[in-house]
Amino acid sequence: MSKVCTMSEAISKYVKNGDHIVLGGFTTNRKPYAAVYEILRQGLKDFVGEGGPAGGDWDMLIGENRVKAYTNCYTANSGFTNVSRRFRHKYETGELIMEDYSQDAVMLMLHAASLGLPFLPVKLMQGTDLVDKWGISKEVRKTLEKVPDDKFVYVDNPFKKGEKVVALPVPQIDVSIIHVQKASFDGTSIILGDEFHDVDIAVAGKKTIVTCEELVSDEEIRKDPTLTSIPGFCVDAVVHVPYGAHPSQCYGYYDYDAALMKEYDVASKTDEAFDAYMKKWVFDLPDHDAYLNKLGATRLIGLKVVPGLGYAKDMTKEAQK
């Protein structure tokens, strides 16, 4: 059964105000920017966000006041902005309700979600402020429908008398959004390079949207079953969006757009500059095709990775050395 649809259709059908959302990718790697832009254009809001190792994707949603509560370990455009500026500003001014866990804890929580576990027992974070201090108080948590009542609970290890472990809540994900290199019509997907937490959230999400660089036939997918990362039965919608992770990188296809990352870094310093950036690159553009046309063919071609290197480089200059 074909699950192929447009970006507008996928977002309007499967993303709702107040959803608990998780986005795939890692900081500047394979982030589903095209989907985030469409969420912003459609005016959707009040999300409970599970940030994980997030980047500009969540920074934009937070900057546009679309996030009601946020669980996170790290939000940055690594190499350009060490802590995302809109995220930091909203938190420091008290406009963002945010809870932080260690990165390994967040990844394990998402894996536990894929396994359907009721909670996750770990030894991680004990003896640190990550358990001693809560970003979201118990009182505030009770007012947030999709945020657990406790950040964690100490429990006895039933197999080792006298030992305490940290029981962490398992995310209840409404929507997972992932960008992949290849997907077939039924949603079977190939992720090249590091999969990060994407397979876990695809399995755990009540609804999963996959955006892809290439929409391929079932025959292409079946050539090498060992490459399959996400089975089709986990996926609800498939959207073909070449350069759908831009300005982040997509392994094997294109490098990150350093110029646009730097532009966003500067723009995200102030409310006014951020608003102007978002107007220019998101709200003034009706869809992803318009976004690509604004970027231009030469710019996009210049981001294509060099086989054997894995990143973009002008090889004509290399040949002249």
For residue 35, the domain's CATH number is 3.40.1080.10
pLDDT at 204: 98
Strand partners, 212: 180, 240
Evaluate whether residue 199 is within a structural domain. yes
pLDDT at 318: 76
For 192, the token pair is: 């090249």
Buried b (16+ CB within 10 A) or exposed e, 263-289: bbbebbeeeeebeebbeebbeebebbe
Evaluate whether residue 135 is within a structural domain. no
Q: Which residue bears the tokens 């406790």? A: 150
Split into its structural domains, the chain has a count of 1
Evaluate whether residue 222 is within a structural domain. yes
Evaluate whether residue 123 is within a structural domain. no
Closest CA to 311 of 28, 35, 76: 28
Sequence-distant contacts of 132-139: CB under 8 A, at least 24 apart: 134/99, 135/97, 135/98, 135/99, 135/100, 136/69, 136/97, 136/98, 136/99
Evaluate whether residue 132 is within a structural domain. no
pLDDT per position in the chain (321 positions), as tens?
Answer: 899 999 999 999 999 999 999 999 999 999 999 999 999 999 999 999 998 889 999 999 999 999 999 999 999 999 999 999 999 999 999 999 999 999 999 999 999 999 999 999 999 899 899 988 999 999 999 999 999 999 999 999 999 999 999 999 999 999 999 999 999 999 999 999 999 999 999 999 999 999 999 999 999 999 999 999 999 999 999 999 999 999 999 999 999 999 999 999 999 999 999 999 999 999 999 999 999 999 999 999 999 999 999 899 988 887 777
Q: What CA–CA distance (Å, rounded) separates 80 from 266? A: 10
Evaluate whether residue 220 is within a structural domain. yes
Evaluate whether residue 122 is within a structural domain. no
Q: Is 222 helix (H, G, I), strand (E, B) or coil?
A: helix
Domain residues for the domain of 213 are 1-117+173-321
Evaluate whether residue 282 is within a structural domain. yes
Under 8 Å between Cβ of 239 and 37: no
